[in-house]
């Protein structure tokens, strides 16, 4: 399990976001390109709180102090059965400006329940949370336990005014008892507008996530990122939604590209080419940066062309839509070459993708 998350994080992939193909109403992150107001911010979410064991095993005070030291806010996705005996500690989290989301009564799947039974469990948790929140506040967020989410669950939570949120920064921290590895893996995935998912530590149970949380908070600070609640991130991102770019504007910016099988970019300088072979840069890379993520193919094309035109030294932009042969979520990443080197590639058969590049940064693709 750890190898999957380790490898995918090292190549810039965020596997939890693949669920966006199935969960159309779910928030995974707020890309900075679409939502510039969230620059420098991420949402920190903590699952399965607060303590499923004896209240003496609670680490709420330690987590609370750690968040306070880093000026961080979090959304705690809480299980109502795990609040017994720690209600005062829960109220202390609210006093510090954190928020609560609905994670059902227990850490188990609810996907298989009949709709009426799921609704009963959902409302059981809502009532418990609202007893802590007070009359003037309501629960806004729901997270399906184990990320198993059905159309019936969707209809139910919408009927009760809840929104479903998962995240794009995650690594099965509950299963790998190595705090430094958890933190390093998640920090490789994080970016402006990310939603982080980590599990609540307890004494003797997932206790390693306390160390992981500390290292994550330190890593965010080093990257100039600050953790806020999910509601804060959503309000900033959604307060000023960018209008859709007209198709003629997109076509002009991309040289009229509409089909990934087209090879020429006639509107661009002669040293710029395009290949439709599915490749991934693997060597000779000096710098990598994400231009657009979780967007449409046209938006990725716009970002690619703008990056290539704006970099006279030469860069390569990889445009990919992994695991979605018929379309879906696209990403554009720019690569610059080490001095005196060219960037080499491996060919892949999965996913869709292509490259836009300056010829001086190019080398012949190698078979994977």
The total number of residues written for the chain in this structure: 368
Residue 257's pLDDT is 37
- Integer CA distances (angstroms), 3 to 9, 181, 310, in order: 10, 11, 37
Structure tokens at 72: 């961080």
Give residue for tokens 């704006």: 310
- The secondary structure of 179-205, three-state, reads HHHHHHHHHHHCCCCEEEEEECCECCE
Residue 276's pLDDT is 57
**Residue 280 φ then ψ, to 5°:** -145, 125
Give SS3 for 64. helix
Query: What is the CA 343 to chain-centroid distance, rounded?
Result: 28
Residue 252's pLDDT is 42
Give residue for tokens 């940064």: 361
Residue 220 neighbours by CB distance under 10 Å:
23
pTM comes to 0.68
DSSP for 78-135, written as a single string: E-GGG-TT-HHHHHHHHHTT-EEEE--SSSS--TTS-HHHHHHHHHHHHHHHHHHH-T
- pLDDT mean values, one per 10 residues, the chain (368 residues): 84 86 91 90 97 97 98 98 97 96 97 97 97 88 96 95 96 95 96 97 98 98 96 89 44 39 42 61 80 75 74 72 51 79 67 64 48
- Distance in angstroms (rounded) separating the CA atoms of residues 61 and 70: 15
Please give the order of strands across the beta sheet that includes 316-321. 272-275, 352-358, 316-321, 330-337, 285-295
Residue 339's pLDDT is 74
Residue 243's pLDDT is 45
């Amino acid at each position: 399990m750890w190898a999957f998350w380790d490898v995918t994080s090292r190549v810039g992939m965020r596997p939890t976001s693949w669920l966006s193909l199935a969960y159309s109403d779910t928030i995974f992150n707020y890309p900075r390109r679409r939502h510039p107001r969230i620059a420098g911010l991420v949402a920190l979410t903590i699952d399965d709180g607060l303590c499923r064991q004896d209240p003496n095993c609670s680490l709420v005070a330690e987590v609370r102090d750690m968040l306070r030291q880093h000026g961080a806010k979090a959304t705690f996705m809480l299980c109502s059965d795990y609040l017994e005996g720690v209600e005062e500690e829960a109220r202390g989290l609210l006093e510090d400006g954190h928020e609560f989301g609905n994670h059902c009564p227990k850490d188990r799947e609810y996907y298989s329940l009949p709709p009426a039974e799921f609704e009963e469990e959902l409302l059981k948790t809502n009532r418990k949370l609202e007893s802590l929140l007070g009359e003037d506040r309501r629960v806004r967020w729901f997270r399906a336990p184990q990320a198993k989410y059905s159309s019936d669950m969707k209809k139910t939570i919408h009927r009760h005014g809840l929104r479903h949120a998962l995240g794009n920064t995650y690594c099965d921290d509950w299963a790998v008892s190595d705090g430094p590895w958890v933190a390093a893996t998640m920090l490789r995935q994080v970016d402006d507008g990310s939603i982080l998912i980590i599990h609540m530590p307890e004494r003797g149970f997932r206790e390693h996530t306390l160390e992981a949380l500390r290292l994550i908070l330190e890593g965010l600070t080093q990257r100039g990122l600050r953790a806020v609640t999910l509601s804060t991130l959503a309000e900033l991102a959604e307060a000023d939604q960018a209008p859709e770019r007209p198709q003629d504007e997109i076509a002009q910016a991309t040289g009229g590209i509409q089909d990934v099988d087209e090879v020429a970019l006639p509107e661009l300088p002669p040293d710029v080419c395009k290949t439709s072979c599915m490749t991934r840069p693997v060597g000779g890379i000096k710098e990598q940066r994400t231009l657009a993520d979780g967007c449409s193919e046209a938006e990725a094309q716009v970002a690619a062309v703008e990056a290539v035109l704006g970099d006279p030294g030469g860069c390569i932009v990889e445009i990919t839509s992994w695991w979605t042969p018929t379309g879906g979520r696209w990403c554009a990443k720019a690569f610059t070459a080490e001095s005196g080197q060219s960037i080499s590639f491996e060919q892949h058969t999965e996913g869709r993708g292509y490259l836009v590049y300056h010829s001086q940064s190019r080398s012949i693709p190698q078979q994977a």
